[in-house]
A and B are shown apart, each in its own frame.
Chain A
Amino acid sequence: MTDERTGAQVMCEALVREDVEVMFGIPGGAIMPFYHAMWEYRDRLRHVLCRHEQGAGHAAEGYARSTGKPGVCVATSGPGATNLVTPIANAWMDSTPLVAITGQVSSSVLGKDAFQETDITGITLPITKHNYRISRADDLPSVFHEAFHIACTGRPGPVLIDVTKDAQQARVVPDWNTPLNVPGFSAPVGIDRRVVREAARLLAGASKPLILVGHGVIISGAAPELLAFAERTGIPVITTLHGIGAFPEDHPLSIGMPGMHGWVHVNRAIQECDVLLSIGARFDDRVTGKASTFAPRARIIHIDIDPSEIGKNVKVAVAIVGDARAALCALLDEMQPRNAAIWLRNIRETQATHQHRQPYLRRPDTSELMPHDVYAALNSELNGRGGYRVVTDVGQHQMWAAQLIEWRRPRTHITSGGAGTMGFAVPAAMGAAIAHPDETIWAIVGDGGFQMTNQELATIGQEGIKNVKVAIVNNGYLGMVRQWQQLFEGKRYSGTPLSGPSFAGLAEAYGLRGITVDRIEDAPGAIRAAWDHDGSVVLDFRVEREANVFPLVPPGLSIGEMITREAPA
């Protein structure tokens, strides 16, 4: 019969129907039928062979975060599937639409501890929006459609589909017309106008209002509405780590990042403000510090698409449940033009007494390359050019990047926030580079995180990806942990000193270009050379080893209690 297909062909067909253009993965026994079918679809479905499934998962995340479209990763059963657990958890914490496809052993041996059998749906239960184990090929069309719908609708997140080998091999006539039927999955509701008017009333009466912008604004594509809203109301705008890029930092109303490594004037403004409008942010402890002391004078208006975020970490006066863009449009309709000029001037005065875009780094007596030299050089190069995105990893370099680069556009700053996954940057940058071949994708990474997933440089080489530029801020330590050991644990550097190979040499070994920089005056030229080089590059910036990230709110304290600089030696 001509309409008959194997389950594996149905899986490929389903991906094409969901407009998937690329997937990242590694084959293995239980997923081989899918790879067999993939060959027939190779002109429509690009498969990128990664070197580790964690790399595949993060690459799919980088693709998703830079485009807003779902990322797809593929692995075999057992260890292949468990290697996806970290990126799935990362996507869960950072609300990234991700569809993970895993092979599973055949139904006949399922539950018998077969070779490479793992209960991956059981393992990923708490870190997926939903997951499926499919043993009948007939179920594939509706399950794939449902999975993409769930991953992308409302608050995005990861969905895993585990398909037994026999279901991939079975021959079926696929039915593509089964309507979606997920009654327990509520699509976002319309905005409640009554609550919006209440919020508008609060804002209109506020003398010290603030807007706190999170990832939700970027996910819903609400940056233009945010700009219009801020300009009409004159309310100063704060962007969280994941909100970075939602509001241009060169705008007079932008005041910067809050939280553990936020600016002093921003945290003080939060502690002083009388109304805080939070849009698509979830009051993570890295933002709030000790939550019970966060914004003590403020009545909080919380816009979020996920009702379970309302009232989870802080008390909320007005809750608007719904899409950030729709909520902002509704709120904009209710607001009369106003300004908060005196309040903004107060904030700027506080800012002026503390340095801004000048890291609180003490330069040693030598002329050693300091981290901020690297960022200053990169920042001026970014300002002069367009067509770039920056992916950061986790640690000191990540906070310096958030602080020291002037961010302007949504989806140009991509990082691992909630889960704090070291090893994210290199593969995620690769995924973003594949999604945007005409742009330059910078991966800023520490020497610790780089060594967790640098095997993906081989993938970059094999795929001929030319637009990944890796900047390693190399201090020979797991720097953020070392910083805490220095400040809070009497300088006992337990388990933090870190060596590595010649990273430039490693890059060359992978067929990429490698450049080592250890002098201040060489930094700008090296960055220009990397940018202009027709191919991917690894820059190894050997920086002062014990530079610290400031300001800093010590863990567990109120964000009003900041350490702003190094204690004198």
Chain B
Amino acid sequence: MRHTLIALVEDRPGALNRILGLLRGRGLGLHSIAVGDSETPGVKRTTVLVDTESVEQTIKQLNRLIEVLEVTDVTNAEYVVRETALVKIQVPEPRREEIRTVADVFGARIVGSSPHTVVVEMTDTPDRLGEMIARVMAIGACETMRSGSLAMPLGGPARRAKIAGPEDTNQAWWSQADGIS
């Protein structure tokens, strides 16, 4: 079954690599992963869509990784999901109006164009993105780029990611290292 997990991950070198390696090593299907800064410096908040028989076991395995601070399964909670798509459509000038119409219907924006192409940007649920892409594909050849899903639970207080331990100490050893991947 597909689960939507939100993980807080310390921004140490190799952290993302470890998460991906763990999922692959345990034979779990990774559907999408989105990584970005959280509100706390040094901590990334990631959304992972993973196919697993036992989500409890998957969460425990992720928690064994030193960099993983916390994992929450929001699959059965109330949460919003958003994904961004950029779609480049090859379409001659006379048919651009059709693209504009589709974009208006879906709340998408035309964010750039060239003599032979337009680029549409849309942020919505993955399903709605799929519908929009199907529509514009009927108009012209498409190249699509999607960000992977971002999930945010609705309930509960806004939570600040915490790094436990002394905050006034020297820089962490990985501070000058080469990023999360």
Q: Which residues of A contact B21 (CB under 8 A)?
A: 125-126
Question: Could you tell me the distance between the alpha carbons of A175 and B163 in the complex, rounded to whole angstroms?
Answer: 22
State whether the Cβ of B14 lies closer than 8 Å to any Cβ in chain A. Answer: yes
Contact between A179 and B165, CB atoms less than 8 A apart: yes
B-facing residues in A105-128 (Cβ within 8 Å) = 121-122, 125-126
Interface hits, A448-491 → B, CB 8 Å: none
Q: Are A136 and B22 in contact (CB under 8 A)?
A: no
A306: which B residues are within 8 A, CB to CB?
A: 64
> Which residues of chain A from 124 to 157 have any CB-CB distance to chain B below 8 Å in the complex?
125-126, 129-131, 133-136, 138-139, 142-143, 150
Say whether B25 faces chain A, with CB atoms less than 8 Å apart.
Answer: yes
Beta-carbon contacts of A293-314 to B below 8 Å, as 1s and 0s?
A: 0000000000000111011100
Q: In whole Å, how far is A509's beta carbon from the nearest beta carbon of chain B? A: 43
| Contacting pair A130 B22 (CB below 8 A) | no
What's the minimum C-beta distance from B82 to chain A, rounded to whole angstroms? 27
Contacts A125-B21, A184-B10: A179 and B63 contacting too (C-beta < 8 A)?
no
> What 3 pairs across the A-B complex have the smallest Cβ distances?
A308-B60, A139-B173, A183-B164
**Closest residue of B by beta carbon distance from A134:** B173
CB closest residue in chain A, given B164: A183
A56 CB, min distance to chain B CBs, angstroms: 25
Q: Is B99 an interface residue (CB 8 A)?
A: no
The answer to whether A175 touches B170, judged by C-beta atoms less than 8 angstroms apart, is yes
Contact of B66 among A130, A136, A143 (CB under 8 A): A130
Which chain B residues lie closer than 8 Å to A185 at the CB level?
66
Q: Which chain A residues (315-340) contact chain B, with CB distance < 8 Å?
A: none
A178 touches B176 (CB 8 A): no
Chain A residues lying within 8 Å of B176, measured Cβ to Cβ, are 136
Is the beta-carbon distance between B170 and A183 smaller than 8 angstroms? no
In the bound complex, how far is the Cα of B18 from the Cα of A129, in angstroms? 11
Task: Tell me which of B25, B56, B69, B165 contacts A181 (CB under 8 A).
Answer: B165
* A182 contacts chain B at the CB level, 8 A cutoff: yes
User: Which one of B57, B61, B65 contacts A184 once the chains associate, using CB atoms below 8 Å?
Assistant: B65
Shortest beta-carbon distance from A157 to chain B in Å: 10
Given contacts A136-B176, A308-B60, A308-B61, contact A181 B17 (CB under 8 A): no
Interchain nearest-CB distance for B171 vs A (Å): 9
B67 within 8 A of A: yes
Interface flag for B13 (CB, 8 Å): yes
Residue in B18, B68, B170 whose CB lies within 8 Å of A125 = B18
Assuming the A-B contacts A181-B172, A183-B163, are A121 and B64 also in contact, with contact meaning beta carbons closer than 8 angstroms in the complex? Answer: no
B138-170: CB near A (< 8 Å → 1, else 0) gives 000000000000000000000000111110011
Give bound CA distance, A185 to B163, whole Å. Answer: 11
Q: How far is the CA of A5 from the CA of B173 in the complex (A)?
A: 18
Instruction: Collect the chain B residues with CB atoms within 8 Å of residue A179's CB.
Output: 165-166, 169
Measuring CB to CB, which residues of chain A are less than 8 angstroms from any residue of chain B?
Answer: 121-122, 125-126, 129-131, 133-136, 138-139, 142-143, 150, 175, 178-186, 306-308, 310-312
- Judging by beta carbons under 8 Å apart, are A184 and B69 in contact? yes
Please name the residue on chain B nearest to A132 by beta carbon.
Answer: B173
| 22 pairs, A vs B, C-beta closer than 8 Å | A122-B17, A125-B18, A125-B21, A130-B66, A133-B13, A134-B173, A136-B173, A138-B173, A139-B174, A150-B66, A175-B170, A180-B165, A181-B169, A182-B66, A183-B69, A184-B67, A184-B68, A186-B63, A308-B64, A311-B54, A311-B57, A312-B57
Closest beta carbon of chain A to B27's beta carbon, Å: 12
Return B43 CB to nearest CB of chain A, in Å. Answer: 9
Nearest CB of A to B13, in Å: 7
CA distance A130 to B21 in the complex (A): 13
Q: For the complex formed, measure the closest distance between the CB of B62 and the CB atoms of chain A, giving whole angstroms.
A: 9
Give chain B residues whose Cβ lies under 8 Å from the Cβ of A138: 173
- Give the CA-CA distance A121 to B17 in the complex, in Å: 11
| Residues of the A chain whose Cβ atoms lie less than 8 Å from the Cβ of B60 | 307-308, 310
| Contact in complex: A129, B66 (CB < 8 Å) | yes
The minimal Cβ–Cβ distance linking A162 to chain B, given in whole angstroms, is 11
A185 to B18, CA, bound (A): 15
* Minimal Cβ-Cβ distance residue in B for A125: B21
10 further interface pairs, Cβ-Cβ under 8 Å (given A139-B173, A143-B173):
A136-B173, A139-B174, A179-B166, A179-B169, A181-B166, A183-B163, A184-B68, A184-B69, A186-B63, A308-B60
B22:A126 contact, CB within 8 angstroms:
yes
For A131, the chain B residues whose CB sits under 8 A away are 14
Return chain A residues, CB-CB under 8 Å to B18.
Answer: 125
In the complex, A150→B67 CA distance in Å?
12
- Say whether B57 contacts A142, CB under 8 Å: no
Report the bound CA distance from A311 to B165 in whole Å.
31
Nearest CB of B to A82, in Å = 17
Which residues of chain A come closer than 8 Å to B177, judged between CB atoms? 135
* CB neighbours of A184 from chain B (8 A): 10, 65-69
In the complex the two chains form, what is the Cα distance from A182 to B10 in whole Å?
10
A469 to chain B, nearest CB (A): 39
Min CB gap A307→B, angstroms: 5
Q: How distant is the Cα of A126 from the Cα of B177 in the complex, in angstroms?
A: 21
Bound complex: CA A142 to CA B12 (Å): 15
In the bound complex, residues from chain B placing their C-beta under 8 Å from that of A180 are 165
1/0 per residue B32-74: CB within 8 Å of A?
0000000000000000000000101100110111111100000
Tell me which of A122, A181, A307, A312 contacts B63 (CB under 8 A): A307
Quote the shortest CB–CB distance from A163 to chain B (angstroms): 12
Residues of A within 8 Å of B22, CB to CB, are 126
* Identity of the chain A residue whose Cβ is nearest the Cβ of B25 in the assembled complex: A126
Residue of B nearest to A146 (CB): B173
- Chain A neighbourhood of B162, CB < 8 A: 183
Question: In the bound complex, what is the Cα–Cα distance between A135 and B174 (angstroms)?
Answer: 10
Contact in complex: A183, B57 (CB < 8 Å): no
- Report whether B25 and A311 are in contact in the complex, using a CB–CB cutoff of 8 Å: no
Cα–Cα distance between A143 and B170 once the two chains are bound (Å): 13
Look across to chain B and name the residue whose beta carbon is closest to the beta carbon of A307.
B60
CA distance in complex: A522, B18 (Å): 55
B167, closest chain A residue (CB): A181
In the bound complex, CA of A129 to CA of B172 (Å): 19
